[in-house]
Amino acid sequence: MTARAWVSTLGQGPGESKEWRGGRSLALVVAAACLLAACTSGPDPSRPASPVVRSGEQQEAPATRVGEVGVASWYGVPYHGRTTASGETFDMNDLTAAHPSLPFGSRVRVTNLGNGRSLVLEINDRGPFVKQRIIDVSKRAAKELGFLRDGIARVRVEVL
């Protein structure tokens, strides 16, 4: 069908040509794709992106994370014995923690601001995956920091 013939079919009713119906379907698909793209959200600007670290490279801790204050939570039984993001086996009885962006092997002092208790923990995993939380600590760390029962605590995280 020529372009002129196709244009002449515009506005036809129930007897519309196949080309017009195909064009309308294409327009609907494009419109739906645009709407879906507009509804998706980008990265959360309040959380720093995890930097890519190549094998053997050293990475410095982001300066904005030093002395960070926020909510900590703990994780244990469901993850005990599983492989962490660093490749280590998670042991809920070790003094370790998960942080969204600090390099694996970083040592941090976590202080429970509710009772003043503090511990030095090693970052060996990524997390937490709940908004408004800044660090996940092992079950043992939560017990020693005094928030095992409550599940969460307001803490200060300092990179050592």
CATH number at residue 134: 2.40.40.10
36 φ/ψ angles, rounded to the nearest 5 degrees: -65, -40
159 φ/ψ angles, rounded to the nearest 5 degrees: -75, 130
Tell me whether residue 49 is in a domain: no
The SS3 of residue 98 is strand
Tell me whether residue 14 is in a domain: no
The SS3 of residue 154 is strand
Whether the CB-CB separation of 111 and 155 falls below 8 Å is answered with yes
Which structure tokens are listed for 103? 């390099």
Tell me whether residue 137 is in a domain: yes
* Residues of the domain holding 77: 66-159
Domains: count for the chain: 1
Tell me whether residue 133 is in a domain: yes
Mean pLDDT, contiguous 10-residue spans, the chain (160 residues): 50 51 59 54 45 47 65 94 96 96 97 97 96 96 97 97
Whether the CB-CB separation of 102 and 128 falls below 8 Å is answered with no
* Interatomic CA distance for residues 52 and 34, integer angstroms: 31
> Residue 108 has what pLDDT?
97
Place of tokens 């709407």: 35
Tell me whether residue 148 is in a domain: yes
> Residue 67 has what pLDDT?
87
Tell me whether residue 18 is in a domain: no
> Residue 53 has what pLDDT?
47
Tell me whether residue 10 is in a domain: no
The SS3 of residue 141 is helix
Tell me whether residue 48 is in a domain: no
Whether the CB-CB separation of 71 and 147 falls below 8 Å is answered with no
